[in-house]
Chains A and B, each alone.
Chain A
């Protein structure tokens, strides 16, 4: 199940774990990424906490934790090569996997058509 946030993150949900990344729209706004700072595996984050930071040539931006949960895995590949996020934001460019505190929390998020309508 694919869900989206107003902060331009996508979540791919399976068995209470969300794989989280930033949307193609967000990547287009940011431009070429040169650095990604990822959370620690094992960190427990609340909804809205700064979970990761992306730096483009232009500026730094936070990536917020979309729901409450525990970081169970991060994508080391994008730490080594941030351009993967530009090339493939909604697949190979994922950021982290989040074990949700309550799987039902995801029900309030947007589906893809609602998200795409929101960014015009």
Chain B
């Protein structure tokens, strides 16, 4: 690690080091890429039991309506996201996207209705830009406050419910995408039933001064092991979830990214609040006409992993690429290489055979349905 770079720390950095985390620079934060068991075992442990992830580097932001009516904050946020914010009930969370004037994606986020305000979680690498974007466009309607004194702990896997319910029994009553304030070890925490692994689980926003105590209490459970960013990436890739900066960015629109499900009908053409977000003139026609390219799953036919950046060709001898891989690696649960990338929409049908260039060799890949593993979310 370059000693001249002063990395940001999270409330769990000391604990991550004490637990043997191999620390790397991620989005300017000193974060554990793996612990002693390594990416493969950490991945499999999360799918079998439960993994604890420090995701405190992510941004936590409150939008408080100046009028006191949460509907006004919701309508304000709808100016920046092509998503139904107004229709989200108190105590519920939803996935969203910030778009730019060309319909490209500035960041993806989770937002929740907290009754009298909105609570947002945004990506670490984008959070300064996101907060500036919110302040520039929503300050007339909302006070925008970035919560810099909190930790964020993700607890993911089939044993997450029992592990958290030991400390806060009400956690078991929550459904996927519920968000509640829970008292855990006497600490007031904001808990959502969600995550980024394809497993059931929770994300727990905790005051920074109490984050280590909470993490240690969860890790006392033998089912719960600390997991690094390496396994976080392989878990989300198998689950077909996008990584901002790899799979979605300003060059990809919601339709090209195959995220139509994130744009509710009320915001589409013919809906009661159609448009009204940046790039709507690009994004909305794509629901009728499709986008030129589309994000797809890619299943390499051989054993060699195909990584992000690899070019894709329509046949083995073609010289001009038709697409590219945006994320790829080995899927420990799939027991095979897994990838996703962008191809012309005409080639996006599952089963279509393409060729990836890996170190000068052409390797066959099949367009595949996402996700690679069946999610186990606790839907109500």
A115 at interface, CB cutoff 8 A: no
Bound state CA distance, A56 and B22, in angstroms?
16
Most chain A beta-carbon contacts within 10 A, residue among B39, B230, B330 = B330
Q: How far is the CB of A92 from chain B (nearest CB, A)?
A: 19
B10 lies within 8 A of chain A by Cβ: no
Q: Is the CB of A37 within 8 A of B39?
A: no
Name the residue on B nearest A82 (C-beta). B303
- Is A60 interfacial (CB 8 A cutoff)? yes
Q: Are B304 and A32 in contact (CB under 8 A)?
A: no
Nearest to B40 among chain A residues (CB) is A32
**Which chain A residues numbered 96 to 114 have a C-beta less than 8 Å away from chain B?**
none
Q: How far is the CA of A56 from the CA of B337 in the complex (A)?
A: 11
Q: How far is the CB of B329 from chain A (nearest CB, A)?
A: 6
B297-331 CB mask vs A (1 if < 8 Å, else 0) is 00000011101000000000000000000000110
B371 at the interface (CB under 8 A from A): no
Asked if A31 meets B39 with Cβ closer than 8 Å, knowing A53-B359, A57-B234, A57-B330, the reply is: yes
Q: CB within 8 Å of B: which of A2-41?
A: 31-32, 34-35, 37
CB neighbours of A57 from chain B (8 A): 38-40, 43, 230, 234, 329-330, 332
Tell whether, in the assembled complex, residue A55 and residue B40 are in contact, meaning their CB atoms are under 8 Å apart. Answer: no
Interface size class of B (residues with CB under 8 A): 10 to 19
Question: Contacts A31-B40, A53-B359, A55-B330 known; A60 to B305 CB distance under 8 Å?
Answer: yes
Chain B, residues 266-289, CB within 8 Å of chain A (1/0): the string is 000000000000000000000000
Contact-size category for A? 10 to 19
Instruction: State the CA gap A59–B329 with chains docked (Å).
Output: 8
Q: Which residue on A lies nearest to B33, using beta carbons?
A: A58
A80 to B269, CA, bound (A): 53
Contacts of B307 in A (CB 8 A): 59-60
Closest CB in chain B relative to A28 CB, distance in Å: 9
CA distance A35 to B300 in the complex (A): 13
Find B39's partner among A53, A58, A60 (CB 8 Å cutoff). Answer: A58
Q: How far is the CA of A34 from the CA of B329 in the complex (A)?
A: 10
B369 to chain A, nearest CB (A): 22
With A53-B359, A57-B230, A57-B234 known to touch, is A32 a contact of B305 (CB < 8 Å)?
no
**Distance, CA A53 to CA B304, complexed state (A):** 10
Q: A27 → chain B, closest Cβ, in Å?
A: 11
Contact B38 A32 (CB under 8 A): yes
Chain A residues, CB < 8 A from B234: 57
Expressed in whole angstroms, the Cα–Cα distance for A35 and B332 within the complex equals 12
Residues of B within 8 A of A35 (CB): 303-305, 330, 337
Cβ-defined contact, B34 with A34, below 8 A:
no
Smallest beta-carbon distance B347→chain A, Å: 26
Nearest-Cβ distance from residue B43 to partner chain A, whole angstroms? 8
Nearest CB in chain A: distance from B31 CB, A: 14
On whether A32 and B39 interact (CB within 8 A), knowing A55-B330, A57-B329, A57-B330, the answer reads yes
Which among B40, B43, B304, B337 is the interface contact of A37 at CB below 8 angstroms? B304
Q: Tell me which of A32, A34, A55 has the highest count of chain B C-beta atoms within 10 A of its own C-beta.
A: A34
Chain B stretch 330-380: residues in CB contact (< 8 A) with chain A: 330, 332, 337, 359
Taking CB atoms, residues of chain A closer than 8 Å to B41 are: 32
B-contact bits for A38-64, CB 8 A (1 contact / 0 none): 000000000000000101111110000
> How far does the Cβ of A78 sit from chain B's closest Cβ, in whole Å?
12
Whether B230 contacts A58 by the Cβ 8 Å rule is yes
Q: Is A55 a contact of B38 with CB atoms below 8 Å?
A: no
Expressed in whole angstroms, the minimum distance between the Cβ of B304 and any Cβ of chain A is: 5
Residues of the A chain whose Cβ atoms lie less than 8 Å from the Cβ of B230:
31, 57-58
Give B310 Cβ to nearest chain A Cβ, in Å: 11
Q: Which residue of A lies closest to B41 (CB)?
A: A32
What are the residues of chain A within 8 A of B304 when measuring CB–CB? 35, 37, 55
CA distance A72 to B93 in the complex (A): 61
CA of A35 to CA of B34, assembled, Å: 20
Q: Which residues of A contact B330 (CB under 8 A)?
A: 34-35, 55, 57
**In the complex, how many angstroms separate the beta carbon of A38 from the nearest chain B beta carbon?**
12
Bound-state Cα–Cα, A54 to B34, Å = 19
The residue in chain B whose Cβ has the minimal distance to the Cβ of A37 is B304
- A-B complex: 8 closest residue pairs judged by Cβ atoms: A32-B40, A34-B330, A57-B39, A31-B38, A55-B305, A35-B304, A35-B303, A57-B330
Residue pairs across A and B with Cβ atoms less than 8 A apart, 6 shown, are A32-B38, A32-B40, A32-B41, A35-B304, A57-B329, A58-B33
